Structure 1
Amino acid sequence: MVRQAERIDQLEAEVAELKRRLGQNSRNSSRPPSSDSPFTKPAPKSLRRESGKNPGGQPGHPGSTLALVEDPNERKRHEPGACRGCGAGLADAPEVGMERRQVFDLPPVTVQVTEHQLIARRCSCGTTTCGTAPDGVTAPTQYGSRITAIILYLYVGQFLSKKRTAQALAELFGTPVSEGTVAAVTRRAADRLDDFLDVVRDRIVEAEVAGFDETALRVAGELHWVHCARTDRYTLITCHRGRGQEGIDHAGVLTRFRGVAVHDAWAPYDTYVNADHQLCCAHALRELQAVADTAAQTDPDARWHWATQAADALVAMQKLVDDAIMAGADTIAPDLLGTQVGLYHSAVQIGYNQTTAPSTKTMQKHNALARRLLDRQDDYLRFTQDWRIPPDNNGSDATSA
């Protein structure tokens, strides 16, 4: 009977772990939305709680609405016809007002072909001398700098495929561009970067705050890792076979970085002790959501759970910082921030105590999360003390993906 009971406990633990894995999606784990099943996609739900604000731009937001310009490229006057009152002509009537309406549009765009004729002349001495082509004009036919820039912008900047980039050029400007041309233009541009990557690397190293992330990539059928280091102005993307410290060192940023590194809880980042760290709250919210989802499966009637309280407190702290920045304040009321810090700390302490003797792999994961949220509380909440620091690493996460 004892052996049977042990076997039942083991099977129940395995079933619980399988349910946990099956329940993972982009809302409660680090899986990308593309990995969600098309048949059981999770209902869209933001991890942010209700803010109480109306949707859209908030009062005081600068916005980007079109404004009338004082010097338009062209003015067209539209005269009234006959008088609406008596029907008389108004050609000689005095002008008493004018309403301005402006239309912003692009002029018709067509490709212009410039022919450079290199004239050859023969001197009386018998020597023939040919004119010299301008810099960059090296072939009988080629694309100019503007089309080259647009190709690079669409392909590299907007992540269109080679096929769609070529198609866009052909449809927008009526000029044929092949996929091979897109690849060749990109390769030539990369070859001319010279020390550009070193400059970007140095600028990120000198920054006060930078985000870091890594994601898997297949290169020639083998697993590699894309490493991203970025600020609000610069982004460096490198590729390496290693995900951990070897790949991070190859990027050449964190080894010299002295600011605040924003990243997820991937352990190799913590080996760089020369930097301060802000752990990504967005990752923590997804992990807490997974814990809450598991609890809801085992006890659907439960009205409170430590993971939900911890998540609510994290979101509330982000809102406090956002509101203070929006209002132009210098500080957050200590009692407001202290209340949320207390809710966060007490919740994860309860979560840690409840899972101290984990009986399943799921409980082990929950215990590890609660312990990390406790031990690294300062690193998770650093953004509340230094408003230069974002609370999440979503920018680097999206860039590397």
Structure 2
Amino acid sequence: MEVEIKQCPSCERVIKGKFPVDMPGPLQYGLGVQAFIINLLACQMVALKRAQALVYSIIDVVIAEATMLQFILRLHAALENWEVRATEKLLLEAVMHVDETSLRVDKTNYWIHVHSAGGIALKKLHRKRGIKAMEENDIIPRYMGKLIHDCWASYFSYSNCGHGLCGSHLLRELTFVVETNRYRWARRMKRLLQATYKRVSDCEKKCLDDREYARLLKCYRKILELGTLEMPAIPDKPAGKRGRIAKSDAHNLLERLQKHEASVLLFARDPLVPFTNNRGERDLRMSKVKQKVSGCFRSEIYAHAYCRITSYLQTMAYKGVNPMIAIQMALAGELGGE
């Protein structure tokens, strides 16, 4: 961008044009360049040095890595209010998917916690995985709807919301038990869940009526009773030995199906509750790809920025907004009440 200097022919006064307020210096990178670099680093998961080389090949200017990281932090700060508004919208949703996955930050293990509902995907970074992280993230403790998850015990600590378990996880575990132990109860339970899911999917109401649900419940409990009889007894703990007796995967699965009966079958009762937690897993998947493609983060602030920025871009993608446009909107302060 250039500005002109003009001299008035009458009074000989020199007048110099002014740069836009967001470009105060002699060399500035516009929102388009900043958005392109942020898109490379956050969305396309290009490593810093490769992004630097790519930008140089396009504009013939070497942009320092520190400058590129400042673009990331600028967008991170610009999205602070958006994150607050997105959190409040999440709390109003009837069903919310949650999941967590590990992330390496400065050679230390952190956890990304995702909260997905409607057209919103919100990721939070925390050093812990369990209740402490959920309390400090302050989303699940305030949520009053149905929480869909993979049976991580910490989620059941919250009675303010309902709980639905991911059917895909259960089917994978049942398949493992069938293939390794050949237990008939596991094969029957897998067939029952698959048949129920198909019945619910084909039903116009997307749920079972009272009579159908009663039959499902009776069959479900019968299979678990057979499982109790089919499974070998758990040995008594030796005298003087501390701790709990280790149980097999099949025993743990059977006990979980017995304890969380209502949560396992919630999809058949509530038309808003899906059979799987695939939405939460999809919103987390690219975080693992990020580590494989361009490595871990050197400091915590950039990991926090990555979570907030990708949350925003995933949310805008659900609305059909181009990521480059979305980034420029945020940097220019044009989000408004979005």
Matches within 5 A, 1:274-313: 274-296=160-182, 305-313=184-192
- Please tell me the residue identity of whatever aligns with 2:172: R
SS in structure 2 of the partner of residue 188 of structure 1: helix
Per residue, is there more helix in 1 or in 2?
A: 2
RMSD, aligned α-carbons: 3.3
Partner of 2:129: 243
Q: Give unpaired runs (5+ residues) of structure 2.
A: 237-244, 289-338
Percent of residue pairs bearing the same amino acid type: 26
1:365 has 2:249 as partner: yes
Does structure 2 conserve the Cα–Cα contact (< 8 Å) formed by 1:349 and 1:370? no
SS in structure 2 of the partner of residue 283 of structure 1: helix
**1:204-263 CA distance string (max 9 Å, x none):** 122111111112222211222211111131122112121110011121100100010111
SS in structure 2 of the partner of residue 399 of structure 1: helix
Does structure 2 conserve the Cα–Cα contact (< 8 Å) formed by 1:352 and 1:371? no
Query: In structure 1, how many angstroms separate the alpha carbons of the residues matched to 2:2 and 2:59?
Result: 22
1:348 has 2:234 as partner: no
Query: In structure 2, how many angstroms separate the alpha carbons of the residues matched to 1:143 and 1:257?
Result: 42
**Structure 1 133/179 Cα, relative in aligned 2: closer, same or farther at 3 Å?**
closer
Query: In structure 1, how many angstroms separate the alpha carbons of the residues matched to 2:211 and 2:162?
Result: 26
Partner of 1:397: 281
Does structure 1 conserve the Cα–Cα contact (< 8 Å) formed by 2:205 and 2:271? no
SS in structure 1 of the partner of residue 80 of structure 2: coil
1:376 has 2:260 as partner: yes
Matches within 5 A, 1:145-156: 145-156=31-42
Displacement of 1:391 after TM fit? 1.6
**Structure 1 140/309 Cα, relative in aligned 2: closer, same or farther at 3 Å?**
farther
Partner of 2:19: 133
**Structure 1 348/155 Cα, relative in aligned 2: closer, same or farther at 3 Å?**
farther
Partner of 2:109: 223
Displacement of 1:394 after TM fit? 2.0
Query: In structure 2, how many angstroms separate the alpha carbons of the residues matched to 1:219 and 1:289?
Result: 35
**Structure 1 136/283 Cα, relative in aligned 2: closer, same or farther at 3 Å?**
same
Partner of 1:318: 197
- Please tell me the residue identity of whatever aligns with 1:225: W
Displacement of 1:291 after TM fit? 1.0
Query: In structure 2, how many angstroms separate the alpha carbons of the residues matched to 1:238 and 1:222?
Result: 16
Partner of 2:3: 117
- Please tell me the residue identity of whatever aligns with 2:122: L
**1:141-168 CA distance string (max 9 Å, x none):** 3333234334334433454444565566
Q: How many residues align?
A: 276
TM score, norm. by length of structure 2:
0.69
Does structure 1 conserve the Cα–Cα contact (< 8 Å) formed by 2:114 and 2:124? yes
SS in structure 1 of the partner of residue 28 of structure 2: coil
Larger radius of gyration: 1
Which has the bigger relative contact order, CA under 8 A and spacing at least 6? 2
- Please tell me the residue identity of whatever aligns with 2:107: G
Q: Give unpaired runs (5+ residues) of structure 1.
A: 1-114, 297-303
- Please tell me the residue identity of whatever aligns with 2:141: T
SS in structure 1 of the partner of residue 142 of structure 2: coil
